Amino acid sequence: LVALEAEKQSRMAALLERLHAKHNASRPWEGTINVVRQAMEKRSVMNEAGHQLLLNCLETLQRALKVSSLPSMTDRLESIARQNMLGSHLSTTKTECYITSDMFYVEVQLDTGGQLVDVKVAHQGENPTSCSELIQHLSEKNFEAFSKHLKGLVDLYRLPGDNKLKTKMYIALQSLELDLTKMMTMFRLATNATTVETILHGSVGLLTSRSGGNLVSLQCYVSPYDIFEVETGSTDNNVPRSLGVSVSVTIEGTSAVYKLPIAPLITGSHPVDNKGTPSFSTVSNSNSVDLPACFFLKMNRPMPFSLSFIQRLGNATSIPVFETPPPLSLLYQLIVQSQLQLLEEGSATPATLNNMHFYSILPDQHHCYFLNGDAPVQDGHSLQGAMVSKIPFRHPAQVPLLLDIIRHQAAYNTLIGSCVKRTSVKEDSAGLLQFEVCPLTDSSFSVSFQHPVNESLVCVVMEVIDSRQVSCHLYKGPSDALICTDEFITKVVTRCMSIPVTMRAIRRKAETIQADTPALSLIAQTVETMVKNNPPPSGSPPYKMVGGDGTNPMGLPGLTVSARSNGKQSHFLCKYKVIIFLLFSEFHFFTMEDY
């Protein structure tokens, strides 16, 4: 045992001596490079996790290096190409870097100092054309945005079939883009619409052409707050793609085969009406081809749709929105989750669902909203919905129909989502106003709250007729004081598309009417005194004021009028009606205030 242990120690000492000698020996830098290169060439034996870890480390090193020369610029471009599973090579002069795939290539032209000269994109069978967005990103050394464009180009050709079939699908998408561009141009020429009008009412919304890896974008709905941002800071050529609701136009593979146009279908340059509606040629074998693919409108972010609206989308195209039935949830819960995710984009702290109770802090009021999304609406069932991320279609004429349905749902979602805030208020706070929002149908809901003057319950029913029209009706008890007119509520909600702002305006209007109540009493007393001091001729009926149904349209206590009267009595009553009219002309009932 002692001999074995001594031999083991001797071998260990010899090994350490060799390691020390190897460490102390000077090794040229080229030798180290060769060792690293040999190790990288053996990466095939590395497991997938280790390979990905090494790639991540290399990418981190690349991002940390400053790009200030021609070699560093080409190295970065080649690294970005590898990240997106694309090929790359340099020209003989080292000043052109080509990022390639089977279906497209990107040509980056540089000068000898590594400064950008031009960026061109060429799809299969096309001549390369300059891309302003890619030029801007590389000029600013924004390599992350450049990489996103490359990813978009790769995703564009993520289609079934060989290169020949993919080329046909790309040609079909090109034809659709030309038709949609012409549809927007015809609408704007026919209506002379502004940017916001084009977004809200245009047949295809506001179209942004495809550029680099960014698909054609159709902006179709913006809220009043988005409109404020557009009017103060953007132009037709510089509207943020993320503003409001927008869809991207693309083509994707499907399990079914559809006949898709491979040539533009719009005939002529003149619309068939004053709204810019174009005339389409008939789909035939000469301008269309059967493909295992379909056009899609892809939402800029998944959007909640009610089940009935999803069915409307499918009916408009005769193609189901989902190939398999989607998981259904309460529509209001989906709207709340979507709104909270939108609010979290600019916040460092995540928001919580908070049991569907949300607080809105206004300049002079604090509101608490309970969204009762599981209230039964039809056949005892609650309002159900699903998140929609893309909508299939196969003809450019179907796009306006789909956008109108999207706008309609977006308007409904905007109103419900206006109650969802990240603020918090103590529930026992003094002056906290309580509101309950309940769905009635897929396009209407009620907002219930306590009467501002009485202690009874008041209800406002809002029906979203379409994205342009919201109808409002106030329901109160027969003995409750009048708060405001339906027209007033409709005007407010149409201008702001916000439930809290509308409820605040109703409250302020009620306070104004309550303050003017003494004036109503004074008018009633004045008329009663005049009647007592100047009684009507003997035999005439009691002095009353009525409408055609015997009601008291003025709302003055004790003043009614009989339906029967002779000529003299009518002349006598007419004198007092004129006096009452003059008194009321000094009292303005419902004036639109700045809310």
Place of tokens 């342009």: 468
Of 52-56, 172-176, 248-252, 380-384, give the lowest mean pLDDT range. 52-56
Better pLDDT: 564 or 122: 122
Of 17-21, 144-148, 464-468, give the lowest mean pLDDT range. 17-21
Calpha distance 545→542 (Å, rounded): 10
Give the model's pLDDT for residue 24. 67
Q: Give yes or no for residue 553 having a pLDDT over 50.
A: no
Place of tokens 């409108």: 297
Give the model's pLDDT for residue 34. 80
Question: What is the tens place of the pLDDT at every residue in 89-115?
Answer: 999 999 999 999 999 999 999 999 999
Place of tokens 């259904």: 328
Give the model's pLDDT for residue 585. 42
Q: Which helix (H) or strand (E) holds 386?
A: strand 384-393
Token code pair at residue 174: 């090109």
Place 66 in a pLDDT band, splitting at 50, 70 and 90: confident
Query: What percent of the chain has a predicted confidence (pLDDT) above 70?
Result: 79
Place 232 in a pLDDT band, splitting at 50, 70 and 90: low
Question: What is the tens place of the pLDDT at every residue in 127-170?
Answer: 999 999 999 999 999 999 999 999 999 999 999 999 999 999 99
Better pLDDT: 79 or 49: 79
Question: What is the tens place of the pLDDT at every residue in 484-529?
Answer: 999 999 999 999 999 999 999 999 998 887 666 555 555 555 555 6
Domain segments of the chain: what residues? 50-156, 163-328+386-406, 443-515, 517-585
| pLDDT, the chain, mean | 84
Of 11-15, 120-124, 371-375, 457-461, give the lowest mean pLDDT range. 11-15
Closest CA to 312 of 379, 403, 426: 403
Closest CA to 188 of 277, 279, 276: 276
Q: Which helix (H) or strand (E) holds 232?
A: helix 224-233
CB–CB of 370/434 below 8 Å?
yes
- The DSSP string of 420-458 is --S----TT-TTEEEEEEEE-SSSEEEEEEE-SSSSSEE
Of 241-250, 312-321, 391-400, 571-580, give the lowest mean pLDDT range. 571-580
Give the model's pLDDT for residue 529. 63
Q: Give yes or no for residue 545 having a pLDDT over 60.
A: no
Give the model's pLDDT for residue 414. 97
Calpha distance 394→251 (Å, rounded): 10
What number is the average pLDDT over the span 425-438? 85
Calpha distance 224→415 (Å, rounded): 11
* Most confident by average pLDDT, 29-33, 313-317, 589-593: 313-317
Give the model's pLDDT for residue 230. 59
Better pLDDT: 424 or 252: 252
Give the model's pLDDT for residue 588. 42
Better pLDDT: 46 or 532: 532
Q: Give yes or no for residue 273 having a pLDDT over 50.
A: yes
Place 61 in a pLDDT band, splitting at 50, 70 and 90: confident
Calpha distance 57→261 (Å, rounded): 46
Better pLDDT: 334 or 12: 334
- The DSSP string of 142-172 is -HHHHHHHHHHHHHHT--SS-HHHHHHHHHH
Long-range CB pairs of 45-50 (<8 Å, 24+ gap) are none
* Gyration radius of the chain's alpha carbons: 36
Give the model's pLDDT for residue 62. 74
CB–CB of 502/486 below 8 Å?
no
What number is the average pLDDT over the span 202-223? 95
Max Cα distance, the chain (Å) = 146
Structure letter (DSSP) for residue 314: H
Place 396 in a pLDDT band, splitting at 50, 70 and 90: very high
Phi, psi (deg, nearest 5) at residue 120? -125, 145
Give the model's pLDDT for residue 46. 54
